[in-house]
Structure 1
Amino acid sequence: MKRTLLCGRAWGLLVAACLMIAQAQASIVITGTRVVYDASQREVTVKLSNDGQSPMLVQSWIDEGNVQATPDTSAAPFVLTPPIARIDPSKGQALRIRYTGQKVLPQDSESLFWLNVLEVPPSSAEGQNRLKIAFRSRVKLFYRPAGLPGNVTAAAEQLQWRLRRNGPDWALECRNDSPYYVTLGKVSVSSNGQTASPTLDINSSMLAPGEQKMMPLKNSAVLGSGGKVDYTSISDLGATIEHSQSLKP
């Protein structure tokens, strides 16, 4: 999950008002670390809860991967109900998401979108011009066509791994032949009695259906061409699954 810190003096729900980005603790909590929209369902529900001590105004929308997209500019083919809501302390709100069909999505693989939840403290009578801090949370939304073979855990288990030369060091090649998005956690390579790990971020840790990535390994010159890779993947429920595979020649 990514959280963006937005600052502004007047109450507003405008992403364009973003002045700084930082990791922070939000009051509004999204149940789960990802949303899976199975096409066999008419809609999916995401639960929001207010763990803070003040009521919050919440605006929600879905984008196609552009972090700068706003509710007005996003063309994601989904409708959220309610798009704006007030959530009191220790209370919750069910957010309903429905695919509109206005954009034809692939039927042989998953599609990736992002659910945005922006929270802003409501205005108070005594502090109209006081600084307010808004938090935006983003979680992945996977649209999953009906009838896809296998499942996301099996897809992670079947990743193809190889070591490739990268100058004096090595790089880890990973290929995802499945129709599912696979999100990795930790990755470690063992070879010739030595270990090395790639540096993963929110982009390099996720493989799209059919995607192949090269992950540079630091200080890996002593590695050989064989060995094994130990890694973790994230399930639909956000659980960490451990895997181990021999490296392909």
Structure 2
Amino acid sequence: MRLFNKLILCALFMASIQTATAGVSLGATRVIYNEKDKETALEVRNAPDEGAAEKAFLIQSWVSNFDEANKSKTPFVFTPPLFKLASGKSNRLRLTVTDLAALPSDRESIFLINVRAIPSTQKESSSNALEISFQNIIKLIYRPAALTSEKAAVAYRELKVSREGDIIVMKNSTPYYISIGTLMSGDKKIDKSITVPPAINGKDGEIRIESKTRGTLTWNAINDGGGMTSSVSSAG
């Protein structure tokens, strides 16, 4: 009987996930906030799949630090931070900077946008139904006025990529954060999320990835619109 109850609970849990994630989506996979803009916007949509039950969600939004260990307050605020989104509707979140002095002017800064969707609870729903919230997390990049989108688009070509034994070293001398789309070592794809930090005070940003596979190192990057760039190779 205990096993049966666990199986039922698991089924309810999975059904709730499928129902929830079928509805709410974001209008972008990343947000670039240019200093010259007074604010930027992110669309949130509640569009259930065909045949799925209509459901309203409570949407909660905030910005957190890219480094999860850093719990300090970020210099951004969303308006509205909390609202109800009916089925078939959309809303635009407005993001503004609250403390410009906290952001460096000579290089990009990176944060995370969090958008949590909490399913509404209907009074007539069964008390045995399990409702869960889910969360979309995308990158937020703040770009100072001195930096341009044109140079950001080709910054990945400036990466110095080499190998030190079983370690791939990626060095970035530019002031831009570079999100790697695909990194190949020979014919093996490195299955890891990679964001190479910018240079700070003349010192290259650096990231190190373990890989025992030998061969030509090939990579591309994710551009401002969320698409993939062309590829660049290094003998390693």
Separation in 2, partners of 1:85, 1:57 = 6
Separation in 2, partners of 1:82, 1:25 = 22
Residues 66/57 of structure 1: CA separation in 2 closer, same or farther (3 Å cut): farther
Native 8 Å contact 1:197 1:217 kept in 2: no
Find the partner of 1:77 among 75, 78, 82.
75
Matches within 5 A, 1:137-156: 137-148=136-147, 151-156=151-156
Separation in 1, partners of 2:69, 2:80 = 21
Instruction: Tell me, yes or no, if structure 1 residue 213 matches structure 2 residue 207.
Output: yes
Higher helix share: 2
TM-score (norm 1): 0.75
Find the partner of 2:180 among 184, 194, 213.
184
Separation in 2, partners of 1:48, 1:27 = 10
Residues 57/74 of structure 1: CA separation in 2 closer, same or farther (3 Å cut): farther
Matches within 5 A, 1:149-164: 151-164=151-164
Higher strand share: 1
Q: CA deviation at 1:132?
A: 1.3
Q: CA deviation at 1:75?
A: 0.8
Q: Which residue number in structure 2 is paired with residue 59 of structure 1?
A: 60
Residues 215/198 of structure 1: CA separation in 2 closer, same or farther (3 Å cut): farther
Residues 117/128 of structure 1: CA separation in 2 closer, same or farther (3 Å cut): farther
For 1:201, the aligned partner's letter is K
Find the partner of 1:245 among 203, 223, 233.
233
Unaligned runs of 5+ in 2: 1-16, 49-53, 200-204
% same residue: 28
Root mean square deviation, CA, Å = 2.5
For 2:24, the aligned partner's letter is I
Q: CA deviation at 1:152?
A: 2.0
SS of equivalent residue, structure 1 residue 238: coil
SS of equivalent residue, structure 1 residue 45: strand
Separation in 1, partners of 2:234, 2:100 = 44
Unaligned runs of 5+ in 1: 1-21, 190-194
Native 8 Å contact 2:43 2:93 kept in 1: yes
Find the partner of 1:229 among 208, 217, 220.
217
Residues 177/37 of structure 1: CA separation in 2 closer, same or farther (3 Å cut): same
SS of equivalent residue, structure 2 residue 21: coil
For 2:44, the aligned partner's letter is L
Q: Which runs of 4+ in 1 moved over 6 A?
A: none
